[in-house]
Structure 1
Amino acid sequence: MLIRFAVTNLLSFKERVEFTMIASSERIHPHHVYRTASRNHPNLVRAAVVYGANSAGKSNFVQAIKTLRQMVVRTWSPETLLPIKRFKLNPSYIQIPSEFEIEFRTQGINYLYSVSATPNVILQERLATTTNSGEKLLFHRTTDSDRKVSVEWGRSFEQIPSKDKQFLDFVCQGTRPNQLFLRESIERNMDYFRDPYMWFRKSLSIIEPTATYRALESRLETDEAFRNFLARVMNVAGTGITDIQMHDVDIHAVEDLPQTILEEIRENMTSDRSVSLRNNLGLRLFITQGADELRAAKLMTIHRDQESATEVSFDINEESDGTQRLFDLVPMLYDLMAEDKQESVYIVDEIGRSLHPHLTGLIFNLHLDEAYRNQSSQLIATTHETNLLDLSSLRRDEIWFVEKRNDGSSDLYSLVDFQPRYDKDVQHDYLLGRYGGIPFIGNVHRLRLPTSKHQEV
């Protein structure tokens, strides 16, 4: 689970800003809080929404977390620049490294991981375990201006065999300047830091506004419980869909599917592989290896004819943009609610894109249902959907704002800072600008085009 995240000098964040999921002392909606058995670990809220005007920095908040995740999970070739984009509206900040700090919980242990980097080099990388009483260092790697690497190991590594310690030193000091040691240790088959690495790779998921869920067709083909859940959500959401099916099709008859792509799939396909893809018309296909030829199935939605009560099949591209968006978000909801799925953290940029406000609310309501209070899963989303700004639905510590400062940088803060009463109309006050995070419209009369009567000669 995410505990907190801080970033400095990245994109529109010039000064350090910090986002936290640590629960405050307020008592409303106690089932929104994941409570730990140990007093050494903080209780965490299971959801958060981030509001802000266009270009205020909401998407940059998501991109900042995505940047750190990319740096951790990817292997970077020596000549590749890291995806570090520093604050550009102050020339002095172009020379200052970007800094990340993230604290998270996985497998019952809290980790604090910090990185300082430029596009060319990792200047500092530090991993520690934490409790409410302090932290214990695991490793601290630094690179000086001459690209010389030094490393400090925590006390727990004083007990390992000297041969293993020498190998750790060798790998850490031999890690490329633009590569994180956390990733390099996994490449070298070390298990010391596998749990924190796997949190970035498996538990942390980021969904951007135009992202599609690539494994949808595969899960529909192989997971009946998931297919039934998807159909139920579509029905409850009022889409008119009563069922979801995969229909076999002749792969050669699929329109707008280039032969070159088919040949590439055919060359790389094996009996234990599958491929999900979309053609340019929006059809979603699931391709496997048949006995003699590639087998293709396409995603179909089922509606019911009201007069004859017969079932009518629709291609997915015949559904509305909002329905198609819902198809890509429901797998996230399924994972957040699944009892056997642990430590899921989903961060969604513009969760309400193409969705009716009631559907955005439905996603949060299902995730935060009291029946799932013990699920170690979190949903964090940026949005403009103000219907969620209601203290009967969310806690104050679950509502955040991003606002553009006068110097063009972004600030990030919580509704907790304002301490509104529980009976306050938070949505109304937000739209009035009392919490910031809204656009301030200038003189609209200046936008009027001149008429011929008033045009200057």
Structure 2
Amino acid sequence: MANHGSLRDSQELNLVPAYDADRPALPVAAIYGANASGKSTVMKAYQFFLGAVRDSQARWLPDEPVKRRPFLLDHDSRREPSSYAVDLLIGGVRYVYGFSAGDRAIEEEWLYSYPKARKRVLFEREGGAVTFGASLTGERAAAERIMRANSLYLSAAAQSGHVVLSAVWEALRAVVVIDDETRQALPTTGSLTAAVFDFFEETGIARAEELLAAADLGVHGLRASQDADPRLIRSAQEVWKEPMPTEISDELKAVIMQSMSKSLRFVHRVGDEEFLLTAEDESAGTKTWLTLVTWALLAIARGTQLWIDEVDVSLHSLLTARLVKLFQSAELNPLGAQLVFTTHDSSLLGTMLGEEVLRRDQIWFVEKDAANGASELYPLSDFKPRKGENFERRYLAGSYGAVPLLPGGAFEDMVEHYWGAHGKAVSA
């Protein structure tokens, strides 16, 4: 990705294992950095990329500008296109897909495959012209006819039902990104409830109760409200899945979600008496844990990606470590689902209860250059760390960068100045 927010120059999050050849890709990657360093920008850049893939043909208006966020702290970057690309593994075949976008149109787009490690061009686009490689069979012209200046050819091909390109589109469509905005919305819109019910269908309610009990949240079980309409649950599940069905209006979607938010009950027991509370009555920690673990288990069941910004919000470190452990296990995660998250929780860099949480090649840092405001994304492996090294201590000591650098005594001096200005001396 390049020229998105504070990511002025091209940055790469490489999920190829550096020390383990048993897996084709890392199951977990953690991104550390100081406040305002650019951690969330990495998430938002990927979120924009996914949104363009999913929605540019179906939902963007024909004359709508491309809602990119170029680097704004120099004049050249404001005018230059923003670029995004990903490596995908689908059915054992590697694909590389990407595009660059200006303010009004998609300027370039490309898709390559690497069967038996040999590059094959599926398509390349410049402006409104698309050229096709010989290996891309099937109906290709239909998508080119409906493609607009501000929409992606891949999105148009998925809309027209191209088999090969739809598979790439579906793989990207399945990625879930949870940021602060979606985290706050989930428990109140009913999306949390829909996700939980979807999970129940495959694993049963007892498993979800185990997850809550394991987190020691004081919740003894989950129940559907007796007045919950099964048809409403199914409708909400369909609304919850992206892309939203075009036949469901925003007004109907809002009604469904409001109703769904009241259909899940959390069971609390005091002595022999049982109390049923709604999601709105529960703590942020309970809702966060249930939301994240539900999405995590759905990702593992489907072999897809889950990205979480600030994974440690409202969660104890041990719960975050447990979430990470689900993805680390080859037995529990046989389809290779991936968890990528940002965090300030340095305890994840160490050991918990005698176990390593994150491996050396799963740790990344983001640091912003104070001189030009541009962020750099780089891995711990650049520092050639030894196995068993105390990464937490070295990180907090500033050995890897990506920590806040504050002048010594800055906060104290500010408070002393405040009291001095109000005629009160502060003794040493």
TM-score by length of 2: 0.83
Summarize deviations over 1:262-299 as a string: whole Å, max 9, x none.
xxxxxx79xxx996524xxxxxx428xxxxxxxxx522
**Which residue matches 2:7?**
13
* Amino acid across the alignment from 1:328: T
2:119 aligned counterpart, secondary structure: strand
Residues 179 and 309 in structure 2, CA contact (< 8 A), matched pair in contact too: yes
Deviation at 1:316, TM superposition (A): 2.3
Indicate which of 248, 266, 279 corresponds to 1:301: 266
In structure 2, C-alpha distance between the alignment counterparts of 1:221 and 1:410, rounded to whole Å: 40
Indicate yes or no: 2:337 matched with 1:363.
Answer: no
Worse overlay, 234-243 or 373-382: 373-382
Indicate yes or no: 2:367 matched with 1:403.
Answer: yes
Deviation at 1:130, TM superposition (A): 2.2
**Which residue matches 2:237?**
none
Indicate yes or no: 2:372 matched with 1:393.
Answer: no
Q: For 1:14-413, list aligned pairs within 5 A.
A: 14-24=8-18, 26=19, 35=23, 43-74=24-55, 75=58, 76-130=60-114, 133-143=117-127, 149-157=128-136, 164=139, 168-169=140-141, 171-172=143-144, 175-202=147-174, 204-211=175-182, 212=186, 214-218=190-194, 220-221=196-197, 223=200, 225-248=203-226, 276-278=256-258, 285-286=259-260, 298-305=263-270, 308-338=271-301, 341=302, 343-390=303-350, 392-406=356-370, 407-413=372-378
Deviation at 1:151, TM superposition (A): 2.3
**Which residue matches 2:245?**
none
In structure 2, C-alpha distance between the alignment counterparts of 1:16 and 1:111, rounded to whole Å: 19
1:9 aligned counterpart, secondary structure: coil
In structure 2, C-alpha distance between the alignment counterparts of 1:337 and 1:138, rounded to whole Å: 29
Deviation at 1:319, TM superposition (A): 1.9
Q: Compared with structure 1, are the counterparts of its residues 227 and 275 closer, same or farther at alpha carbon in structure 2 (3 Å cutoff)? A: farther
**Which residue matches 2:238?**
none
Q: Compared with structure 1, are the counterparts of its residues 239 and 171 closer, same or farther at alpha carbon in structure 2 (3 Å cutoff)? A: closer
1:403 aligned counterpart, secondary structure: strand
Identity %: 25
Deviation at 1:226, TM superposition (A): 4.4
In structure 1, C-alpha distance between the alignment counterparts of 2:326 and 2:161, rounded to whole Å: 39
Worse overlay, 72-81 or 183-192: 183-192
Q: Which has the higher strand share?
A: 1
* Amino acid across the alignment from 2:209: A
* Amino acid across the alignment from 1:54: N
Higher radius of gyration, 1 or 2? 1
In structure 2, C-alpha distance between the alignment counterparts of 1:221 and 1:399, rounded to whole Å: 34
1:155 aligned counterpart, secondary structure: coil
Deviation at 1:238, TM superposition (A): 0.5
Q: Compared with structure 1, are the counterparts of its residues 136 and 120 closer, same or farther at alpha carbon in structure 2 (3 Å cutoff)? A: same
1:239 aligned counterpart, secondary structure: coil
Q: Compared with structure 1, are the counterparts of its residues 430 and 250 closer, same or farther at alpha carbon in structure 2 (3 Å cutoff)? A: closer
In structure 2, C-alpha distance between the alignment counterparts of 1:13 and 1:138, rounded to whole Å: 29
Indicate yes or no: 2:403 matched with 1:431.
Answer: no
Residues 220 and 226 in structure 1, CA contact (< 8 A), matched pair in contact too: no
Q: Compared with structure 1, are the counterparts of its residues 358 and 70 closer, same or farther at alpha carbon in structure 2 (3 Å cutoff)? A: same
Q: Compared with structure 1, are the counterparts of its residues 322 and 402 closer, same or farther at alpha carbon in structure 2 (3 Å cutoff)? A: same
Residues 50 and 382 in structure 1, CA contact (< 8 A), matched pair in contact too: yes
**Which residue matches 1:261?**
none
Aligned CA RMSD, in angstroms, stands at 2.6
Residues 106 and 151 in structure 2, CA contact (< 8 A), matched pair in contact too: yes
In structure 1, C-alpha distance between the alignment counterparts of 2:71 and 2:193, rounded to whole Å: 40
2:6 aligned counterpart, secondary structure: coil
In structure 1, C-alpha distance between the alignment counterparts of 2:380 and 2:12, rounded to whole Å: 14
Residues 218 and 276 in structure 1, CA contact (< 8 A), matched pair in contact too: no
Deviation at 1:170, TM superposition (A): 5.9
1:372 aligned counterpart, secondary structure: coil
* Amino acid across the alignment from 1:78: P
**Which residue matches 2:244?**
none
2:298 aligned counterpart, secondary structure: helix
Worse overlay, 219-228 or 69-78: 219-228
Deviation at 1:220, TM superposition (A): 4.8
In structure 2, C-alpha distance between the alignment counterparts of 1:226 and 1:274, rounded to whole Å: 27
List, as ranges, runs of 4+ consecutive aligned residues in structure 1 with deviation greater than 6 Å. none
In structure 1, C-alpha distance between the alignment counterparts of 2:401 and 2:116, rounded to whole Å: 32
Deviation at 1:369, TM superposition (A): 2.9
2:172 aligned counterpart, secondary structure: helix
1:302 aligned counterpart, secondary structure: strand
Residues 34 and 376 in structure 1, CA contact (< 8 A), matched pair in contact too: no
Summarize deviations over 1:384-410 as a string: whole Å, max 9, x none.
111111272221110100001131110
Residues 219 and 226 in structure 1, CA contact (< 8 A), matched pair in contact too: no
Q: Compared with structure 1, are the counterparts of its residues 169 and 286 closer, same or farther at alpha carbon in structure 2 (3 Å cutoff)? A: closer
Deviation at 1:190, TM superposition (A): 2.6
Residues 191 and 257 in structure 2, CA contact (< 8 A), matched pair in contact too: no
Residues 14 and 87 in structure 1, CA contact (< 8 A), matched pair in contact too: yes
Deviation at 1:173, TM superposition (A): 5.7
1:183 aligned counterpart, secondary structure: helix
Q: Compared with structure 1, are the counterparts of its residues 85 and 210 closer, same or farther at alpha carbon in structure 2 (3 Å cutoff)? A: closer
Q: Compared with structure 1, are the counterparts of its residues 276 and 397 closer, same or farther at alpha carbon in structure 2 (3 Å cutoff)? A: farther
